[in-house]
Amino acid sequence: MSTPTTPTPVDVLVVGGGIGGLSTAFALSREGLRVRVLEQAAELGEVGAGIQLAPNCTRILDDYGLLEEATSLGVLPRSMVMRDALDGSELTRLDLIDLQRRYGFPYMVIHRGDLHALFLRACRRAGVDLVTSAKVTGYENTGAGARVTLADGRTDQARIVIAADGLHSVARKLLVDDEPVSSAYVAYRGTVPIDQVAPERNVDLSEVSVHVGPRCHFVLYGLRGGELLNQVAVFESPKARAGEEDWGTPDELDDAFAAACPEVRAGIPLMWRDRWWRMYDRDPIMTWVHGDIALLGDAAHPPLQYLAQGAIMAIEDGWVLARHVAARRAADGAIDWPGVLTAYEAVRPEHCRRVLLTARDWGDLWHLDGPRRLRRNAILRARDVYDYSFTEWLYGPTALTPEEEPPMFTPIPLDSAEVPALSRRTR
């Protein structure tokens, strides 16, 4: 990694060294471009725990020649199971072995740090210039491309600047005057060695498990070949709803899951209690390009996590961008960059808009209470295990043009559910 005072010329600057930034840098370097990544931290790394990679992402890893390495680091679960967080009963499941047959690529779970390190190694092999301690505070277009200004006063420039600078993106302000939207939900994580888990819990590491409950849910699955257990506990904070600044605290964690089934309550003591993640997204925007500056990843489309597509969308962004570079290179090697950015902006914002809004709706569905919870449960129990009508728009090949974007699913109204157990009093 370098910290140059006089940067060598590059074709593309990528601002942000997270999964989205590194995967995009690697994708563009495969097209023969000189790429530099500017990361504000002193070291390139990734915090967090597990991450889920659906077939629309593992398909891209395969195209990059990285799927085998990723598979060696992660886990390929056999099923995804949704259960009720109060009574523990099964609601629905996906057969992930059949899912792989349908979409051609596996559903994988992997440690976020391992996925980041995989892309970091790929970037180093590809000769990407990786610059740390480089906090970008400003962006501007020039006559020959775009320029960034760093916190220490230095500048850097390239033909194209890709802003993968996250939820609090500086570049996004060039396009829209908005702020992150708080969901009032908070996530606790707890990734622990499997031998620290009580044997009586009988955790099945062949599945991704999610328990959905009133204003809360709980996820668990294995990592690193089953050596680790990854757990995520998410709940709505009463303090956030009341407007308090100190919200999502451990006392709220305990209260949120006090009525959960024994399987969920057994996991709460293993959660990390010294840190938690407040959950924000932003409203969708359809303009991602400002001259020769383009948004990517969470800078463009930070989602709530309910569809497990946040990092995947960023990886897809970079793959689409690189494919359009390849399609718009002339015989002499010149790239039609206006055409590339126009094609990128023509397809990605609409797909990501759908994901952002569906993630919000999916989170609402997970967290229902009272009679609406029972109606949701009835609809989920009636679903056939091999019904893929709700995943076709998401898990298929990533669209390169608007015409390739598949149609959305048709929601099932809650009121259509027959719940004989509902009495007049509970209605």
Catalytic residues: 221
3-state secondary structure the chain: CECCCCCCCCCEEEECCCHHHHHHHHHHHCCCCCEEEECCCCCCCCCCCEEEECHHHHHHHHHCCCHHHHHHHCECCCEEEEEECCCCCEEEEEEHHHHHHHHCCCCEEEEHHHHHHHHHHHHHHHCCEEECCCCEEEEEEECCEEEEEECCCCEEEECEEEECCCCCCCHHHHCCCCCCEEEEEEEEEEEEEHHHCCHHHCCCCCEEEEEEECCEEEEEEEEHHHCEEEEEEEEECHHHHCCCCCCCCHHHHHHHCCCCCHHHHCCHHHCCCCCCEEEEECCCCCCCEECCEEECHHHCCCCCHHHCCHHHHHHHHHHHHHHHHHHCECCCCCECHHHHHHHHHHHHHHHHHHHHHHHHHHHHHHCCCHHHHHHHHHHHHHCCCCCCCCCHHHHCCCCCCHHHCCCCCCCCCHHHCCCCCCCCCCC
